[in-house]
A and B are shown apart, each in its own frame.
Chain A
Amino acid sequence: MQRKRTLALLLVLCLSLLTVTACGSSSSPASSASPAPAASSSPSQAASSEAQPAPAAPAEKPKVTLWTTGSQNLSDLFTAAINEYNALPDAKCTMELQFLMSGTGDTLLYDRLAAAFKSNQKDAGFDIIAENSTALFNYEAVAGSTDLFLPVDFSKIPNYANVQVETAFHKEKSVPYRITTVVFAYDEERLPNPPKTWDELTQWIKDNPGRFAYNSPSTGGAGGGFVQTSVYRHIDKSAWTSSDPKWVEQWETGFNWLKEIHPYLYQSGGSVVYPNKNQGTLDLLINKEVDMIPAWADQIMSNMAAGTLPPTTKMYQLSDGALNGTDVVFTFPSVGSHQEEAYDFVNFMLSPRGQQLCLETIYAVPVIDISTIDSPAKAAVESLDISNMSVIALGELGAQLNDKWDAEIATLK
């Protein structure tokens, strides 16, 4: 009897301990979700619980936290780059990575920044953000202020002088470090003479029903880029980086074209389908169900390197309007700190070695003269002409465009 009671008491104790620990572990992501409380204590400590293990560094080096979001390959890139940078004897700071896998928490990065900004944080642990320049307008929109990002003192980033790319985001506030673009991809063996212009593309799609596909725009940037370019190539360039609703009425020409090609696109089970996610159309190209798709250049190159796409796969742009791409930049939120030390890491990423890392880990198009980089992976990127890449940043109109596509294109029989 007595023993039973002691046993029961012990059980209760164990259970309540479990609750406490369970609460503890469940609250750690929550604390990073709301940077405000984390900031009041010690930002670097709060961040380090999730960050990559960094090599031991002398205590006087400040910790600088880099936040980014994307697919797994981005995490691989920055893990490699940060490990190499931290091992440098003259590194001015110890870098740490906070990575949000896209599709799991990426909508929260700008929410987190906005929350920290609106509560007037000065040291919330968001020291550097690496993000597509076209996405950054959204960050400002959510935060409700153009003061979210700090101006950059370019004189403290010597390698910036070699950068040949102009950003789509505020020039004085961002440092581009790579370029990513949507291209048309096809297999040379099956399609020796790909269409050269948009008109030829229209004709080719109609002549070859079921051999072209793009993924539904809200599920991946390749299809999203294709739809945006299709719509905006008919509209004045000043609309391309505008979130002004007045441009919506000019979408019709582009949407009529999307409706026109709809019946000739990839079919399965007797009806036209738009695969979900970038991988969906890639799979169709890999399995030879279609001959041409819009796709991210780096994903095509990764698949070629892995052997899932044949070496005869080619990427190109139409001569009268390239698909859209974006430069990817480092920015320095006003809710972060250690900007001076962060410049040193950014400078490293702009060095030939840093650019080589980007090229070899994720097939990123470099922002510096490619001849200064020594890498066997160079050939794949060199063929990409990014000079006429279109940069489209719609901000909040992007969701409206997807809504319209869902309502008018996805519902077509």
Chain B
Amino acid sequence: MTKKTWKTYLLIAAMLLPSLILALGIILTPMISVVIQSFQDENGNFSLEQYRFLFTDRMALDNLWYTVWITIVTVIGAIAISYLLALYLRFCDTKISKFISTLYLLPRFVPQLVAIYAMMTVVRDSGLLNRISQLFGYNFKPGLLYNAKGIIMMNLWFNIAFATMIIVAALAGIPDSIVESSRDVGAGKIHTFFKMILPLSFKDVMIAMTFIFMSNISSFTTPYIIGPNHPKLLGVYLRDQFSRMRYERAAAISVLIFAFSSISAVVYLYTNLKEKEWEKTGL
């Protein structure tokens, strides 16, 4: 069974073939044609005009930096909160933590649009919070919609559940014995965290970060409904240009979003490979 004959290889190839054809057909081909289109002007001639516009036009640049800024804040915020939550769920064994651990995944099961509109009815300036405050004679206006605060809040709502899920799994993989032995030799809680727990869960944190980054750099629904008129996130900007029939510029924006995602993919691959090296020397 261990000896691989050409038949086995043929079988492996045959089993991979369907997914390879699918990947080529529905992912690679459109991607290549979009890249080609992004290097064309309106008449289909080769041109760098679209990229020149995206990197010189004031509004396009505003949109670009705004997207990057919101995404980075989302990633950092989501990871920080998720890590604390995951630590709490892993190392505190109380009724509350058990309750939270059954509940925290709920946002994963709520469709995006439903969640956004639900959140809007609560936090809009005439929403639930405002009406409750009016009962007590105040007129509290959260001012969370149509600006960055609202988008980031919504992004956190969606991504904390996902990040927590990954980090909890990572922390669960750290045996109690490691923590206990570290405490036995006199390490404090903080020392144990930085020397043992953080390094052991670092890879999964990076995975969570790349996924959050990738899904948020191209986000559309949230910023489209509760985002500001200017600057716009790249996803909304892309749709705008597309609906104004500037297909080449829309293609260039797609390529830009793809480039950003690739950076995070490289980071992801790098951390994964590094882990492999460590495993090799460890074994």
Q: Does B bind A?
A: yes
**Cross-interface CB contact of A12 among B15, B149, B230, B243, cutoff 8 Å:** B15
Interface segment, A13-21, A198-206, A332-340?
A13-21
* B143 and chain A: residue at smallest CB distance: A269
Shortest distance from the beta carbon of B263 to any chain A beta carbon, whole Å: 28
**Cross-interface CB contact of A268 among B19, B143, B230, B242, cutoff 8 Å:** B143
A186 to B229, CA, bound (A): 24
Interface segment, A53-61, A66-74, A401-409?
A401-409
- Contact, CB under 8 Å: B21 / A216: no
- Contact, CB under 8 Å: A268 / B229: no
Chain A residues within 8 Å of B141, by CB? 268
A410 to B227, CA, bound (A): 12
Shortest distance from the beta carbon of B132 to any chain A beta carbon, whole Å: 15
Question: Considering the complex, which residues of chain A in the window 374-413 have a beta carbon less than 8 Å from any beta carbon of chain B?
Answer: 399, 402-403, 406-407, 409-411
- Contact, CB under 8 Å: A273 / B15: no
Question: Considering the complex, which residues of chain A in the window 130-148 have a beta carbon less than 8 Å from any beta carbon of chain B?
Answer: 142
With contacts A276-B225, A410-B230 known, is A399 near B244, CB below 8 A? yes
- Contact, CB under 8 Å: B230 / A411: yes
Question: Considering the complex, which residues of chain A in the window 42-81 have a beta carbon less than 8 Å from any beta carbon of chain B?
Answer: none
Counting CB contacts under 8 A, is A125 at the interface? no
Chain B residues within 8 Å of A399, by CB? 244-246
Counting CB contacts under 8 A, is A274 at the interface? yes
- Contact, CB under 8 Å: A275 / B146: yes
A107 to B250, CA, bound (A): 14
Counting CB contacts under 8 A, is A306 at the interface? no
Question: Considering the complex, which residues of chain B in the window 99-141 have a beta carbon less than 8 Å from any beta carbon of chain A?
Answer: 124-127, 141
* B15 and chain A: residue at smallest CB distance: A12
Counting CB contacts under 8 A, is B240 at the interface? yes
- Contact, CB under 8 Å: B22 / A22: yes
Chain B residues within 8 Å of A402, by CB? 244
- Contact, CB under 8 Å: A287 / B59: no
**Cross-interface CB contact of A18 among B18, B145, B147, cutoff 8 Å:** B18
**Cross-interface CB contact of B21 among A9, A19, A277, A406, cutoff 8 Å:** A19
* A20 and chain B: residue at smallest CB distance: B18
* B142 and chain A: residue at smallest CB distance: A269
- Contact, CB under 8 Å: A107 / B229: no
Counting CB contacts under 8 A, is A83 at the interface? no
**Cross-interface CB contact of B11 among A8, A15, A287, A288, cutoff 8 Å:** A8
Counting CB contacts under 8 A, is A289 at the interface? yes
With contacts A8-B11, A18-B18 known, is A269 near B146, CB below 8 A? yes
- Contact, CB under 8 Å: A406 / B230: yes
* B141 and chain A: residue at smallest CB distance: A268
A139 to B99, CA, bound (A): 58
Counting CB contacts under 8 A, is A270 at the interface? yes
Which of B126, B127, B246 lies at the interface centre, i.e. has the most chain A CB atoms within 10 A of its CB?
B126
A18 to B25, CA, bound (A): 15
A268 to B126, CA, bound (A): 10
A287 to B245, CA, bound (A): 35
- Contact, CB under 8 Å: A276 / B224: yes
Chain B, residues 1-36, CB within 8 Å of chain A (1/0): the string is 100000000010011011101100110000000000
- Contact, CB under 8 Å: A16 / B18: yes
Shortest distance from the beta carbon of A73 to any chain B beta carbon, whole Å: 19
- Contact, CB under 8 Å: B229 / A15: no
Chain A, residues 1-27, CB within 8 Å of chain B (1/0): the string is 100010011011001101100110010
**Cross-interface CB contact of B245 among A18, A107, A406, cutoff 8 Å:** A107
**Cross-interface CB contact of A107 among B15, B19, B242, cutoff 8 Å:** B242
Chain B, residues 222-246, CB within 8 Å of chain A (1/0): the string is 0011011110000000001011111
Counting CB contacts under 8 A, is B144 at the interface? yes
* B226 and chain A: residue at smallest CB distance: A276
With contacts A8-B11, A22-B22, A268-B125 known, is A406 near B59, CB below 8 A? yes
* B127 and chain A: residue at smallest CB distance: A287
Which of B17, B18, B25 lies at the interface centre, i.e. has the most chain A CB atoms within 10 A of its CB?
B18
Known: A16-B18, A269-B146, A271-B147. 18 other contacts (CB 8 A): A8-B11, A9-B11, A11-B15, A107-B242, A107-B245, A216-B229, A269-B142, A269-B149, A273-B145, A274-B229, A276-B224, A287-B127, A288-B126, A399-B244, A406-B230, A407-B59, A409-B229, A410-B230
Across the A-B interface, give the 8 residue pairs with the lowest CB-CB distance, nearest first.
A269-B143, A410-B229, A273-B146, A410-B230, A399-B244, A287-B126, A19-B18, A15-B18
Q: Which A residues fall within an 8 A CB radius of B?
A: 1, 5, 8-9, 11-12, 15-16, 18-19, 22-23, 26, 107, 142, 216, 218, 268-271, 273-277, 283, 287-289, 399, 402-403, 406-407, 409-411
Q: Which B residues fall within an 8 A CB radius of A?
A: 1, 11, 14-15, 17-19, 21-22, 25-26, 59, 124-127, 141-147, 149-150, 224-225, 227-230, 240, 242-246
Can you list 18 contacts pairing A with B, beta carbon distance less than 8 Å? A5-B11, A11-B15, A12-B14, A16-B18, A22-B22, A107-B243, A218-B244, A268-B147, A269-B142, A269-B146, A270-B143, A273-B145, A276-B229, A283-B124, A288-B126, A399-B244, A399-B245, A402-B244
